[in-house]
Structure formats: structure tokens, C-alpha cells
Amino acid sequence: MPDPAHSPAHNQTVSKRIFERARKVMPSGYTRHLVVARPHPIYADFADGCWITDVEGNRKIDWVNNFSSLIHGHNKRELVDMLATQGARLMSAVLPTEWEVKLAELLCARIPSLERVRFMNSGTEANQIAIKAARAYTGKPKIAKMEGGYHGQFDLLEASFQSTPENWGDPKRPNAIAYQGGHPQALLDLVVILPLNDIEAARTLLREHAHELAAVILDPQRLQLGMVKPSQAFLEMLREETERLGILLIFDEVWALRAGYHGFQGEIGLTPDLTTMGKIIGGGIPVGGCGGKAEFMSVFEVDAGDPKVKHSGTFTANPLAMAMGFTSLSLLTPEAFADLAAKGERLRDGLERIKRDLKLEATVLGEGSLSALVMTTKPMRNYRELAAAFAADLGRSMPVVQSLLADEQLLTMRGGFIGSTPMTDNDIDFTIAGVRRAFERYKVL
């Protein structure tokens, strides 16, 4: 049993009182299901650098960074100054501002696929707009996505995000399964589910549905938080087949853009037709982006009359998000990305030492500033293998995660670590020491 002195429920009277108020005005007391915790969540108070402090005064190193959006951590001086300066000057307006142009110029200069860019307010919205653009350009209705792929809270793209052995069907022809209530069958009929890393099965499905497929969308770097990597050969097949069959290839780089100065597509040398973005391009402010080659982005053009795709929004390209995004990305130099990658490698090396010293049946995953430790040695080449690994791992890893939460560490429930630029070698070593203590404490061997 967990040591009560190290339980996350220890000394949380302030959070408990806040949660009791929350339950009276929000369903079950929550606005985000990702923060659901028992008996109640821990409420944040303030943060600085890579450390966050809750309302009880407990300080933790932040390895979640609001699910990757805070690549510079908290309270970055240049960003705080920009927030104050631009907030006092102009937060939002119906008129466009130069900040929008500056951020677009920066992105087009860095990301290989981008010749034209449009902005929106989240990664979910970016993927919605990208699908609309692909349909308008090709004149075809369906889209294809990876089994287990996550692309935000758009029910079309939520299909088979968390399907189960009871409903996922043939591994060569996965079923399109509703993720949650309110997902109509009519939308499921518009989705073709591809098995990740099965080159021949995916190629067969693409060719079979080519006449009705507008686009294939995937995160080219990872699948869910388990970091199941699409193989280079699989990605090359997708690029070759979509180009040959008249299907647009969309890279969802809402997460993957943090992989390097030129995004993940720059790291692997493959250029999609459209790219969706979010998180780090807003400097901590809600943002989304969709861009690609001018030919495919022409569906938004108004020069010749009404556009094929009409897109606007009250807070689209608001100057606060544009200014913060430009400032944040300007700080992400090649040297900054190299330092992020080095810190990530230092963490993974430390996790490997723990695994070896304690003889853990575990696997260290990740690259760049994203890392994970999962309690399995079985291969995870697709969603089904990932799901099986996490099902077997959950009971063994949860006590460790709970221990780390009580031991000045904040990480994802699946044991994921998302790095940020203010982290130092001492912060990395502090985390490694904490992970070792947690495994020793619970003897999860």
C-alpha cells in the first residue's frame, strides 16, 4: 500500500475546499476531463521556470507543461513582457495586425511545407480547417487516419481513438469506432482507419478508397502519449501513395513541431501537403495554425471571388496570440532545440540506468524533448500493441506516478516527460533521482 505521508491526498485542504465550490457550478467540478483526479484535483497557484506551486504551497517540477504548449516553461521574461506590452496596446480587434504577418513569415521560413498559413484558436480547429481545405481542393468526401490517432476534439477525427479488442475488428481493416456519445454513424462512414506501420495493409486501403479520399492525416512523430513511432518506410509509403492517388497528406504537428527548428517534417525529410500546428506557436496563449503549399491553400483565396472555404472567427489571429507566438518561436533557435534534445537525452540515459540497476521490465521511449518510461518490454509498433502494453502496465506504473506526484514531480499519468527550455542539468538529475526513489519505494520490479 502507498505510504500515506507520500500520498497526493496528503495536506490538500485548500484544494478540497475549492473543489467543493467547483462541483456546484461545473459538471462533477471539472472543465477538463484530463485533470480528473480522486478524490479531487490539485489546484495550481503560481509557477516560475520549470517549477509549479499548488494552492497548498507544494512545489513540483513541471514535466507536463500544459501538454506541451509551454515549451519555455512558466514566467519566461520575454513572454511576460510581451504579454504586458501587447495586452496594454491591443488584445483583440476586428482589424488584422502586423503580428499576424510576422508570425506567418517566421513559420513559412522555417517549416518546409509552408508557403501560405492561416491562424485559428486551437489544434482541434486547425485540423477541422485542414480537412475542409482538403475536401474543397479534391472534391472528395472521406478522410483516412491512423487507428489510435489523436487529432483533437473533432468527432470525425476521434474515430477509433480508443477502440478496444471487443470492437476494433480486423487488424488489416480496422473498424471505425465512435469514441464517445454523440458521435453519429454518418460521420464514421466518412472515415477510413489505417493500421499504423502495416505498409501493405495501409497501401491496399488507400488504393481501394482513393476515389473518395480527400486526405490522410497523422502525427508523423508519435501515436498518443506512448510515442509509438511511424516508421520512416511507412511515412515514405504514405507520401508516395497519396501523391500518386490524388490524396492530400496532412501532418498534424500540433505536438511534433517541437521536435526541431524545421518541425518534425524537417527532421525526417518528408514534406506533406498541409501541416496543422498549435501549442508552441502561441507562446502559452490559445492558438492554432494550418498551412501548406500555395496550391492547396488556394481554397481560401478571395482574389477571384468567393473562396471555396470560408474561415473566420472572433479571436482568430488575435494580436495577443500572434505577438506571443512570434516571440516564443523567435527564442526557439537551432541552439535552443539542440539544448532541449540534449536535456531529453540526459533524462533518457538516467531512466535507462534505473531500468538496468533495478532490473525493471520496462522500456524507455522518446526523442528530443519528449520522453516516457513504460512498464513493458514488448514491442509497441501500432495502437493495438500500445493499448495492450498500457493495459498490462497501468497497475504497476500508477503507484510510481502517484509517488512522484507527492515527491515534487508533475508528469503525465502514463509516465510521460515533456521538457522545457528553462530546465537545467540539476533539474534533470533531480527527476532521475526521484524516479529511482519511487521505484525503490514500491518495488515495481
Q: 199-209 and 232-245 helices cross at what angle (nearest 10)?
A: 10
Contacts of 289 (CB under 8 A, 6+ apart): 107, 117, 118, 119, 120, 126, 276, 277, 278, 281
Residues 250, 214: Cα–Cα separation, whole Å: 10
Task: Kindly write down the DSSP assignment for every residue of 233-282, as one continuous string.
Answer: HHHHHHHHHHHHHT-EEEEE-TTGGGGSTTHHHHHHT---SEEEEEGGGG
Q: Catalytic residue at 252?
A: yes
Q: Catalytic residue at 273?
A: no
Catalytic residue among 60, 140, 145, 150: 150
Catalytic residue among 54, 62, 219, 252: 252
Contacts of 292 (CB under 8 A, 6+ apart): 113, 114, 115, 116, 133, 272, 273, 274, 275
DSSP state of 88: H
Catalytic residue among 60, 76, 229, 279: 279
3-state secondary structure of 409: strand
Q: Catalytic residue at 427?
A: no
3-state secondary structure of 124: helix
Q: Which residue is it, cell 454518418?
A: 186
Residues 366, 82: Cα–Cα separation, whole Å: 32
Contacts of 438 (CB under 8 A, 6+ apart): 400, 403, 404, 407
Cβ contact 50:74 at 8 Å: yes
CA dihedral 85, 86, 88, 91 (to 10 degrees): -160
Between β-strands 248-252 and 213-218, what pairing exists: parallel, antiparallel or unpaired?
parallel
Which residues are known to be catalytic? 150, 252, 279
